[in-house]
Amino acid sequence: MGILKKMTCTQESTYNGWQQFTLENDQGMVVQFLDYGGIITSIQVPDRNGKLENVVLGFEQVSDYSHNTNYLGALVGPVAGRIAQAAFEINGQTYSLEKNEANHHLHGGSNGFHQVIWQAAPFETAQTVGVRLTHRHPAGLDGHPGNLDVAVTYTLDQNNAFTITYEAVSDQDTVVALTNHSYFNLSGNLQDTVHQHQVTINSEKFIELDADLIPTGQVLPVAGTPFDFQQGHYLADGIAAAHEQNVTVGNGYDHYFLFRDPAFQAQVLVTEKQSGRTMTIETNQPGMVMYTANALTEGMPLAGGTSKNYLGVCFETQASPASLELDTIPSVKLAAGERYEKKTVFTFGNL
């Protein structure tokens, strides 16, 4: 990977005055994203033959991100995931949120982090380039208590590692669960669906969902089910499975996996044999939602093709809002003055 030569960060104005940033390293890896929603629009990495191709879903036209109902590439918060009945309790007080999916609250609602313009500050170090994004979510907006100051940093290094660092602090007790909602497809330029992506997850348990995709309260063992990725298997196995939980979410996965050990380490490995690409995910988050795009809106014009089910897979590393009902899993509650500090690293390589 050698000596630093041309690590660069550039920016340009695009639709509606949004700024698009481009990070590039010596290996030719390129990450592009917007200050609007912190949306990652493209990640170009080499295949086994050195060919650079995009490995995330992104719209063909930047303007389409203004109606990003599938959260392509977006930062999600203040709480990623579904909050049952759009309400939660802290210190004996109930806070009611916007009901934006049936009777529930999903991904921060209409004022969620995926559609605000973040303040952006580019930076360079000896071996990295990146951008620090900051935003204040004011107290009471959509019912959330506390002024929440958030910083999310995107960093690219010389080893084809793309790091997302999340920081937050509130002046009142509140709830926080931040993640990124990129849809990955390692085949490159949408040449195939994710059926033949082989995934390994350091997880022994997952959370059962009901018909509304709300946790039932049951934390189930993965052993003996299509949810056992401990030794790795193809996503196609679960997409085609008759297991009740795969069928419930529309034939595939949209489930929260609890990591065996929440310490910062490699928790997920993804490989795509045709291109030879690999992606390792390291994080100190307690788990992640894996979503195989079972209900991706079809027919959207994307860079490289048209959207359809199973065209990408999300690895949403985060704590789960199910913890508002379950005291057996890591909590999304954040005490006043407490610092929320999480990190996820996506490192790309080849077989």
Q: Annotated active-site positions, please?
A: 181, 316
Residue with tokens 């360079």: 124
Task: Give the rounded distance of the alpha carbon of 37 from its chain centre.
Answer: 13
349/347 Cα distance (integer angstroms): 7
**Alpha carbon distances (Å) from 106 to 17, 213, 255:** 27, 11, 14
**Which one-letter amino acid corresponds to residue 323?**
S
State the sign of the Cα–Cα–Cα–Cα dihedral 294, 296, 298, 301. Answer: negative
Q: How far apart are CA 62 and CA 69, in angstroms?
A: 14
Going from the C-alpha of 261 to that of each of 136, 200, 204, 215, 343, the distances in angstroms are 32, 15, 10, 22, 15
CB atoms within 10 A of CB 112: 24
Count H helices, E strands: the chain?
2, 30
Produce one character per residue of 306-332: b if its CB has 16 or more CB atoms within 10 Å, e if not. ebebbbbbbbbbbbbbbbbbbeebbeb
Residues composing the chain? 351
